[in-house]
A and B are shown apart, each in its own frame.
Chain A
Amino acid sequence: MASIPTKAGSHAHDHGHDDHSYLHPKGGFIATIWDWASTVDHKKIGMMYLVAVLFMFFLGGVAALAVRLELMEPTRVIENQATKTVQVTGQLFNTNPGSIAEGNVIYNRVFTLHGLIMVFLVIVPSIPASLGNFLLPLMLGAKDVAFPKLNLLSWYIYLFGSLMAVSSALAGGVDTGWTFYTPYSTMTDEGHWRVVMMIGSAFILGFSSILTGLNFVVTVHKLRAPGMGWFDMPLFVWGIYGTAIIQVLATPVIGITLLLLIFERLFHIGIFDPRIGGDPVLFQHFFWFYSHPVVYVMILPGMAIMSELIAVHARKKVFGYRAVAFSSLAIAGISFVVWGHHMFTSEGELAATIFSALTYLVAIPSAVKVFNWIATLYGGSIKLNTTMLYALGFLFLFSIGGLTGLFLGSLSTDLHLHDTYFVVAHFHYVMMGSTIIAFMGGIHHWWPKMTGKMFNELWGSIGFWLVFIGFNVTFFPQFIMGSHGMPRRYASYIDEFTIYHVISTYGSWILLAGFIVHLFNFVHSLVAGAKAPPNPWGALTLEWTDAASPPITHNFHHEPIVTHGPYDYDDVVPPQTKPGEFPLPPPLPAGSAKH
């Protein structure tokens, strides 16, 4: 995508061009703060999202560690017959030595907090709003997203919604589970505002999600650089595009559902309350009609990152570009017809059978992606750097997460596994093991572009191995105890599960150590990292070939003209690299077929 200066880009020079990097401070401290707070630059908004999402990830992580710590030991009430006293052991949150009820409620609130923060404040906005915001215009060769002010608005809506959620948590938290199932969400903490506030915050965060999605769909349609057709777009853009479509089409439904849930809680109108004629299963239908598609809002961006990481760091053209691109859209489409598989135990048998059959359809585009990534790796010159390690980690963990989904999609095994730790382990392998792992890989991959600094590969790899091992140690035992019948959402359990819970908790500490290593590595890079060249990985997408590291405020000096595909490593020497740094592969022997 070597660009040549053209007239098309030249009119941008009418208003004095800012050739500084977007990170260049504008005046003093206060002026810089105001510059960031009022910016419509997609790069700054993306960076603010990144910082906020990582902070929320820290908060949700603390809650997760607390949950794991509580589960180290089963809660027991020990009655001493001789002294007629009652003693509670193994309960972290307990303040009343005579009873476990209070501690159980606090346990519920902590895991609910973990789920709410991780889903609504971390994973849903994580990749699209941070990396997506930063990269989408750069990859398309645009100066900004289609509606920059709307972008800033969705950032502030996110901020406001997050503050509401956090204040609700600080006021004592909610005991509803992250799904807000009725009657928990309509009856617990009766008369207290914080449940309404938490539901309201999810409602408000939905608007942020809708506006971001809307912005991205229009950006992809309208702001591609000259010469960039639909099939010249990097696959990251395809994945984000599929995500954005789901965000726009699914989120309004949860909006109206949460609004009615608030009415229900405040006015008891009876939509979900069976005592006055309502139907709690109706809530589940509405909730999952949104929240199942949103599962793909969580995973599609991870898949989007994967295509870039694998192609760049194996220096190979993505195998089956169109298949990978269309599988993103297929996943987006199928996501709307499988919500019923969350409700196998609460819906009719016929519906369950149909939803089970439909659910298996998701496996097709998902497997297309996995096989194509593996085929891309085949014969590539693989560099085992931090980024590639994360990509391979994703392949490994997503395969486990995806294949265990088949157990849950099949009716007979699901009846056994429903609401056990098997489910917990399955969705953590997909949500954390895949999305967060891809997110970490993406942060490392684009770190030089975003910050203009290189990071330490050795410490990055150490961090990866700690995260990868810690993750598996935490969650693999949960498959085993789940299949043995350990139900989710209980603070207490029978003794035979103790060993699995102890291993799982040790794993969570390794995981913590891994993230701490990454944190120090990032801080070290910001403070003392080497200056990043514009194209350190020898990539061929526009953000590497045509923009500086970090990019200037207007992204490009001239509107880029796209002259080759995003993955033509066989034919194009990557621009903005030193001669000989990324040589072309040797020509194929005469007579051999070129794919």
Chain B
Amino acid sequence: MSTLPADKDLASLQGLSYAETYHAAEHFRDRDHEFDAVKMGVWLFLSTEILLFSGLFVFYAVMRMLYPEAFIHGSSLLDWRWGLINTVVLLLSSFTVAAAVRDAQLGRQFWLKVNIALTFLFGLAFLAIKFVFEYYPKWQEGKLPGMFYSYPNWESPYEPLWWGLYWGATGVHASHVIIGMGLFAWLYIRAQKGHFGPRHYNAVEGVGLYWHIVDIVWIFLFPMLYLIH
């Protein structure tokens, strides 16, 4: 049962904010009930994300087993240093997003906004590094998937396949980063309106969990693509 004043007008007269007067949607018994349901929904959604990427990982494993030399040579053409920098960027963003959830729980509105903004910027930095130092030069050199491949110094005829998987896997991951940044922009706007507080931080936590999955997928992609020779 809700312990808060039921009457919204009364609440605003008392000077309470949105986050303090937030009501659960009417089909839930109270906020805790809604919180549990939303959390379960987010976890289920994350399990679908894991299954989506595990499909990609199986493709990688099968193709690597079939054409190890194409994968070894292709992998040697990637610069592990940019991959490592991006790994660090994403790990830092995971820290800031965890901090944002904590800020919401403690009602630290200023730091909540700072941490959301920082996470957004780390996402942007990840994409910038990816596009400027990785995608663009490879595009120039013709290290492209399938029929677009034109890089002359190949060692195995199946290297276009390797580049197909490289672009496919990192591309699907990058699209998740872009979606995540959109979500952080949305969170920032809502945080600015004072929507989040100790009693209401579902959205921050849900997006945070999503961002951790994006991070974890990269933790797997980085060694698979850049490190294993």
Give CA–CA (A192, B66) in the complex, Å.
Answer: 31
Q: Among the listed A248, A269, A271, which residue makes an inter-chain contact with B48, where contact means beta carbons less than 8 Å apart?
A: A248
B146 touching A143, Cβ below 8 Å? no
B182 interface residue per 8 A CB criterion: no
A252 on the interface (CB 8 Å rule)? yes
Contact between chains at B33 and A270 (CB < 8 Å): no
Number of A-B contacts (CB under 8 A): 120
Given A252-B52, A270-B158, A277-B161: A143 touches B26 (CB 8 Å cut-off): yes
- Asked if B228 lies at the interface with its beta carbon under 8 angstroms from chain A, I say no
Any A CB within 8 A of the CB of B110: no
**Bound CA span A248–B66, Å:** 31
Flag B112-124 by CB within 8 Å of A: 1 or 0 each.
0000000000000
Which one, B35-43, B130-138, B214-222, is touching chain A? B35-43
Q: Tell me whether B66 and A279 are in contact (CB under 8 A).
A: yes
Binary B-proximity of A244-276 (CB < 8 A = 1, otherwise 0): 000011011101110110011001111100001
CB–CB A260/B59 < 8 A = yes
Tell me whether B51 is interfacial, beta carbon within 8 Å: yes
- A270-B146 Cα distance, complex, nearest whole Å: 6
A271 with B40: CB separation less than 8 A: no
B residues near A253, Cβ cutoff 8 Å: 51-52, 54-55
Residues of the A chain whose Cβ atoms lie less than 8 Å from the Cβ of B49: 252
Q: Is B14 an interface residue (CB 8 A)?
A: no
Tell whether, in the assembled complex, residue B160 and residue A270 are in contact, meaning their CB atoms are under 8 Å apart. yes
**B29 interface hit (Cβ, 8 Å):** yes
A403 within 8 A of B: no
Residue interface mask B16-35, A partner, CB < 8 A = 1: 00000000011111000100
Docked pose: A11 CA to B33 CA in angstroms: 15
Q: Are B168 and A260 in contact (CB under 8 A)?
A: yes
Size bin of chain B's contact surface: 35 or more
* Segment at the interface with B among A121-129, A217-225, A413-421, A467-475: A217-225
Instruction: Please report whether the interface of chain B is mostly helix, strand, loop or mixed according to DSSP.
Output: helix
Tell me which of A52-60, A144-152, A297-305 binds B.
Answer: A144-152
Q: Closest A-chain residue to B48, C-beta based?
A: A252
Pairwise interchain contact A222-B36, C-beta atoms closer than 8 A: yes
Quick check: is A536 within 8 A (CB to CB) of the other chain?
no
The answer to whether B145 and A269 have CB atoms under 8 Å apart is yes
B63 neighbours in A (Cβ, 8 Å): 271, 277
For B128, list chain A residues within 8 Å (CB): none
| Residue-wise interface mask of A (60-99) relative to B, using a CB-CB cutoff of 8 A (1 in contact, 0 not) | 0000000000000000000000000000000000000000
A164 interfacial contact with B, CB 8 Å: no
* B47→A248 contact, CB < 8 A: yes
The closest CB in chain B to the CB of A213 belongs to B44
Contact A255 B40 (CB under 8 A): no
Which residues of chain A have C-beta atoms less than 8 A from B36's C-beta?
A: 222
Residues of A within 8 A of B67 (CB): 277
Please indicate the chain A residues that have their CB under 8 angstroms from the CB of B66 in the complex: 277, 279
Q: Are A286 and B55 in contact (CB under 8 A)?
A: yes
| A268-B58 Cα distance, complex, nearest whole Å | 19
Q: Which residues from 143 to 177 on chain B have a C-beta closer than 8 Å to any C-beta of chain A? A: 145-148, 157-158, 160-161, 163-165, 168, 172
Q: Give the CA-CA distance A215 to B160 in the complex, in Å.
A: 41
Residue A519 is within 8 A (CB to CB) of chain B in the complex: no
CB of B45 closer than 8 Å to a CB of A:
yes
Indicate whether B56 reaches chain A with its CB closer than 8 angstroms: yes
Q: Report B-chain residues with C-beta under 8 Å of the C-beta of A11.
A: 1-2, 6
Q: Which of B40, B41, B47 has the most CB of A within 10 A?
A: B41
Contacts of B28 in A (CB 8 A): 223
CA distance A143 to B28 in the complex (A): 8
A8 within 8 A of B: yes
In the assembled complex, A495 has its CB within 8 A of some CB on chain B: no
Pair A256/B27 contact, Cβ less than 8 Å: no
Contact A256 B55, beta carbon cutoff 8 Å:
yes
Which chain B residues border A14 with CB–CB below 8 Å?
A: 6
Closest to A254 in B: B55
A 212-238 contacts with B by CB, 8 A: 214-215, 217-218, 221-223
The closest CB in chain A to the CB of B160 belongs to A270
- Given A15-B26, A279-B66, A217 and B44 contact (CB-CB distance below 8 Å): yes
Do residues A223 and B37 form an inter-chain contact, with CB atoms below 8 A? yes
Contact check, A252 vs B55: say whether CB atoms are below 8 A apart: yes
Which are the 8 A-B pairs with shortest beta-carbon distances? Answer: A269-B164, A256-B55, A143-B27, A269-B146, A252-B51, A252-B52, A268-B146, A144-B27
User: Could you list some 15 contacts between A and B, CB below 8 A?
Assistant: A142-B27, A146-B41, A148-B25, A148-B27, A210-B48, A218-B41, A223-B37, A253-B52, A256-B172, A264-B146, A267-B148, A270-B164, A276-B161, A277-B66, A282-B59
Residues of B bordering A, CB below 8 Å: 1-2, 6, 25-29, 33, 36-38, 40-41, 44-45, 47-49, 51-56, 58-59, 62-63, 66-67, 70, 145-148, 157-158, 160-161, 163-165, 168, 172
